[in-house]
Amino acid sequence: MLRNKDLLGIKDLEVSEIMSIINLARLMKQRINNKSLRQQNLKNETLITLFYENSTRTKVSFNMAAWYQGMNVTDLEVATSSMQKGESLIDTAITLDRMGIDYMAIRHEKTGAPHLIAKHVAASIINAGDGANEHPTQSLLDLYTMYEKKGSFEDLNVTIIGDINHSRVARSNVIGLKKLGANVTLAGAGTLLTTGMEALGARVCFDVAEAVSGADVVMGLRIQMERQNSGSFPDLREYSQIYGINEEIFSKAAKDAILMHPAPVNRGVELTPELCDSNISAIDEQVTNGVAVRMAILTLLHDRNKSVLKSSRR
Ligand code: CP
């Protein structure tokens, strides 16, 4: 059961809430590939996606998660919306809310945009990524994938390598993994690892081989060129030689370690193409798990909202 109307960050979730999403996602996963198991459990519920930044997997997986449960879904086409005539984000959200939309999944370049909207609307707001702050649904699918592959978070050694400063995925994952009892090491170029993540309980390491040593999970992160105002390293080839994950680096991880990446991957930069396509890679599984986790989130928010409505009528 979830406590809040909105899902804005891993920061706000208790361990029991994270585990209930993971446990329900396991059930939902069976429904993705087996049509006979699918249910119309969210029939008559409505979802809109509002993506002010580009997306393939998050946006489409919200759509699929909704369709697989019988919801009605629409996307706000930001480029042709009245935002282009100057309508504010809050007025846009209130307008959609008055149409009776139940759930809004929003991605925005500004930190806190989903939190702002959540205060003004009755609909449940789901953060699909806000600036460099949080990407909670990505983190939940990452946590689910680790749990599925490793069976426990207790003392799990997770190493995350890449553009940590600009990564809302890293931030959400550090918060979630520390809550769940895992050990987190962050590694990468010093210029991409300056934001005080030690305060969240992560170990920071500037040597990639040392960071990977003994890891159960190795996660690469995309170099986010779109968020870099000035170059944080001279060129991509040099970056990949020093900080990229290749077979030699990965061989230092635990024998049964898995490779993860939230994707999209810059092949040949963060990861070699061979590692991406190898059987130690869980990257494709993460995509499927993303749909399952979002199915679970929509269902649990619906259950919470129904229960609050019922108790308010008593
Ligand atoms: N991982 C992720 O958020 O991917 P998209 O940008 O394609 O949604």
**pLDDT at residue 224 is higher than 90:** no
Residue 101, SS3?
coil
Name the token pair of 231: 């170059």
Same fold, 10-134+287-313 and 136-282: yes
Question: CB neighbours of 98 closer than 8 A, spacing ≥ 6?
Answer: none
pLDDT band at 238 (very low <50, low <70, confident <90, very high): confident
Pocket of ligand 1 (CB under 6 A): 55-58, 138, 262-264
Q: Which among 138, 141, 289 is the best mutation to test ligand 1's pocket, defined by most ligand atoms within 8 Å of the CB?
A: 138
136-282 fold: Rossmann fold (3.40.50)
> Is the Cα dihedral 235, 236, 238, 243 positive or negative?
positive
Ligand 1 atom nearest the C-alpha of 61 is: 8
**Centroid of ligand 1 to alpha carbon of 111 (angstroms):** 17
**pLDDT at residue 118 is higher than 80:** yes
Q: Which among 56, 145, 260 is the best mutation to test ligand 1's pocket, defined by most ligand atoms within 8 Å of the CB?
A: 56
- What superfamily in CATH does domain 10-134+287-313 come from? Aspartate/ornithine carbamoyltransferase (3.40.50.1370)
Q: Go through 257-278 and write b for each residue having 16 or more CB atoms within 10 A of its CB, e for each that does not.
A: bbbbbbbebbeebbbbeebbee
Ligand 1 atom nearest the C-alpha of 58 is: 8
| 151-204 residue pLDDT tens | 999 999 999 999 898 899 999 999 999 999 999 999 988 888 877 889 999 999
**Centroid of ligand 1 to alpha carbon of 57 (angstroms):** 5
**Centroid of ligand 1 to alpha carbon of 143 (angstroms):** 16
- Give percent above pLDDT 70 in the chain: 97
Asked if 211 and 159 touch (Cβ cutoff 8 Å), the reply is yes
| 252-284 residue pLDDT tens | 999 999 999 999 999 999 999 999 999 999 999
Q: Going by CA atoms, what residue is nearest to atom 6 of ligand 1?
A: 55
Q: CA 302 to CA 252: how far, in whole Å?
A: 44
**Centroid of ligand 1 to alpha carbon of 265 (angstroms):** 10
Which helix (H) or strand (E) segment holds residue 302: the answer is helix 283-313
Q: Going by CA atoms, what residue is nearest to atom 1 of ligand 1?
A: 262
**Centroid of ligand 1 to alpha carbon of 263 (angstroms):** 6
List the chain domain ranges: 10-134+287-313, 136-282
Asked if 176 and 139 touch (Cβ cutoff 8 Å), the reply is yes
- Residue 177 has what pLDDT? 98
- Residue 234 has what pLDDT? 67
